[in-house]
Amino acid sequence: MTEKPNDRLFMAAAVEEMRKSDAQVKVGAVIVVDGQIVASACRTKNEHAERAAIRLATERGVKIKNATLYATLEPCVELRPGQQVPCCADLVVSSGIKEVVIGRYDPNPNVCRQGWKRLRDGHVYLRDFHQDFREEIDGINSRFVGFFEKGMGPTGGAKVGHKDKGIFLVQFSEDDDRTMEIAWTVAGIDAAYGFASRPVEVAMARFANAFDEVDDPTAYDFRHSVRIGVGEIGIFKGPSACVLVKPKEIHSGPEYGNTDFFVNFEYQVRITKPR
């Protein structure tokens, strides 16, 4: 990767700002002009870190055209049609900042890499944090990242992008570090294929619409993949546990009338072979 003088110093400063954040998703940002930090901020419940850093620099009379922004999470794009406040990616472009160094791409499949693309299309030069800082960022935001990549049993929820096979890892419980991989692929409107790789298999609990309606989760017809619709119950069965899943929302891309690709689902772990 391209490295510039004091890169690690500025990355570390952004991570330290991130640690100060009281928001559910913690983010830190610093703005650098001529090798000096001119503004730094963390995300709060009311303001994103990039927006706050740009505001502080402006209030101090600092010209940030051609500045470099170090942000621990890629700047956001609008999530709601008709959003009144400009998203952070557009604000960065309009401010004249010439370079953005990104700590982590947003794990939310609705957002991932869209901020990067918006900046790229706005002729902003883009680079990435070093790997050790990315790992530190993921550790600080483990709950946020985990919602899209890994979850903890016995119950929980997740949101997984499934355009190119979405994989989510479920740990059975805090006291049981065994795991099972839950995979999804595109099926169509309000449905996705639950996809399993041996020794895991998957089945449909036909007509069930609640986890407590499944008595013995092993008493079904298991196979390599099954189509699971919104509100239906699927069962992933492994050698030592079953994971029941219930999709709450599924978007399957433009072919099926959606912009995004994701499965938003609840899950429940049922142990079948104690340790």
Give the active site residues: 50
Structure tokens at 225: 């993949």
264 in Cβ contact with 274 (< 8 Å)? no
HEC string of 80-139 equals: CCCCCCCCHHHHHHHHCCCEEEECCCCCCCCCCCHHHHHHHHCCCEEEECCHHHHHHHHH
Q: What are phi and psi of 153, to 5 degrees?
A: -80, 180
Q: Do the Cβ atoms of 149 and 142 come closer than 8 Å?
A: no
Phi and psi at 241, nearest 5°, equal: -165, 165
